[in-house]
Amino acid sequence: MKQKLTLKQWCKKAEELEIALSKQYWKLETGQKYSKPKIKKYETKINKLAEYFLKNFDRPEILKDTCIGAVASTKTFQLSLKFKEERNKKIRSKKHTIKGNPVTWDTWRQYVTKATHNERKKIYDKFIKLTPLISPIIKEKFQKNKQIYKQYGTTPLKLYVKEHELTTKELIKIITTLRNQVKKPFQKQFKYYAKKLLHKKPEYYDDLYYVRNAIYQDMTKDFRGVDPIKHIKKTMKEMGLKPDKIRVDKKDRPKKYASPFCMAIKIPQDIRISFKPENPLNDANSIYHEMGHAIHFSSIKPQLPYWTRTIISNGLAETFSTFFEGILTDYDYMTEELKLDPKYSKEIIRRKNFMQLFGAAFYTGNSLFRIAYWRENLKFENCNKRYAKELKKSMGMKIPGAYWQLHHILPESMMYVPSYMLAEIQQNKIKTQLRKKYGKRWWKSKKAGKEVLNLMSKGTDSEAGDFSKLTKKDILNYVRSITTNP
């Protein structure tokens, strides 16, 4: 860069590059033709721009912290890309096939929905056995990240807690309180549903992602008449929100990323969601979740400064996705809005509550594992052991420690996992207040919608982004909400 950039010029340039890059990412993750050289070119430019910022500006602080993260992620980007390719190439089994092709990491979740317990166990064990093939690249990625953050005197954990307006101690306290509250009810419910649906005891290979599908299998038929896109849009409109700007991609392409996701190409103007149809009920949950992200991003005021508009902490982002997904556990909403049978609705809510418990038990373990990695400077070689220990503490089950390397977030993201928990507690707090003010059917109230819009529209400055305000009472209220059945 020859002439010196002003902060305003810098922001304009940064956003243009981010838009071009996310358009390529969108193609990559939705299984369409993308350009590797373009990705590389934009990554290099973004990296240079972030380095330029760190050399020439030290305010705003939030932008500085984000630039550190950006430098780290662009410098490890080729590794991330290689990791995804290798995982799909190396984590595979010729013995097990789906539509005539060997089952790979990418098609694993689709495969297990129709497999027997024994087949599921075998492929789980096989993939666990294969993890050493991808370990070196995961290790390299974490070590490189560690080095880069260190150059700027920080770690991903330190930046993460700061972004959420917490201290590490406060974060550990929140997650540990939650862990202790959910462990017992989770174990009890897991036993009950494993017996009822799988006709056996819970085992290590009955993981969250399998159970999440299996648990609704006998209930999915009654949900077939519900068009989730139509309903969530209607609800959002009744709250005075504007969901029509959001683009939805539901095509099933072979290389399309298995998990549903929302991508913000440009905030607030170009927001998209993607998913692969799996099962009508799960799809509904995913669509409400991803539409929650999408409405959040598309509701942010366009006139806000670049950094306030675009830098959203993970916890804040998940607050609005879980907020909207959670509407599907509201008995009145299900029976009155979706016109579902009362008995059926009650059972779905019971099972959804169990999945919330499962999620909390699993993610508190994941979170405390990840926090320990940075806080205690864990050696990569000790990670599997520590992971097994944290899961045992949270779920009361013995699970192979190498499983974290097969997870879709843990090996890819440096922090992220606690965000779900923070978000769940936060969204429940918001809903409790809305219910108090606007009654049981708050989702029909434009005034309630206005309050949610107000929280969403402020970008980084949203009050919902301050997680230090969460109290023990808020955590207990959340646990009560997922242990009380209609």
Site residues, Zn ion (CB under 5 A):
321
Give Cβ neighbours of residue 227 (< 8 Å, ≥ 6 apart).
none
**Min. distance of Cβ 420 from Zn ion in angstroms?**
8
Q: Which is nearer to Zn ion, 298 or 321 (CB)?
A: 321
Distance, CA of 100 to CA of 96 (rounded, Å):
9
Check: CB of residue 148 under 8 Å from CB of residue 71: yes
Determine the residue type at 20.
A
Shortest Cβ 455–Zn ion spacing (Å): 17
> How many C-beta neighbours within 10 Å does residue 125 have?
13
Nearest partner of 111 among 121, 125, 96, judged by Cα: 96
Written as six digits, the tokens of 419 are 């965000």
Least gap, CB of 137 to Zn ion (angstroms)? 25
In whole angstroms, the minimum distance from the beta carbon of 32 to Zn ion comes to 22
C-alpha 386/C-alpha 421 separation (Å) is 20
Tell me if 364 sits within 8 A of 175, measured CB to CB. yes
Nearer to Zn ion among residue 216 and residue 324 (C-beta): 324
Specify the residue, 378 or 409, whose C-beta has the smaller distance to Zn ion: 409
Identify which of residues 345 and 462 has a Cβ nearer to Zn ion in the complex. 462
Nearer to Zn ion, 274 or 321 (CB): 321
Report d(CA 310, CA 67) in Å as an integer: 13
Task: Decide if 236 contacts 325 (C-beta within 8 A).
Answer: no
Amino acid at 152: Y
Cβ closest to Zn ion, residue 321 vs residue 426: 321
Residue positions counted in the chain:
486
Q: C-beta of 318: minimal distance to Zn ion in Å?
A: 5
Question: Looking at beta carbons only, is 130 or 294 nearer to Zn ion?
Answer: 294
What residues contact 483, with CB distance under 8 A and at least 6 apart? 185, 353, 357
Burial of 221 (0-12, 13-18, 19+ CB in 10 A): exposed
Residue identified by tokens 């038990």 is: 361
Query: Nearest distance from residue 287's CB to Zn ion, in Å?
Result: 12
In the complex, least distance from residue 369 CB atom to Zn ion, rounded to whole angstroms: 20
Give the residue at shortest CB distance from Zn ion.
321
Q: To which H or E segment does residue 264 belong?
A: strand 261-266
Q: Residue 274 CB, nearest distance to Zn ion (Å)? A: 12
- Rounded Cα distance between 52 and 457, Å, is 29
- Among 282, 109, 292, CA closest to 210: 109
Instruction: Report the residue number, 145 or 321, with the smaller CB distance to Zn ion.
Output: 321
Between 267 and 399, name the residue whose CB sits nearer to Zn ion: 267
In angstroms, give the least distance from the CB of 172 to Zn ion: 23
Tokens 């159970």 belong to residue: 211
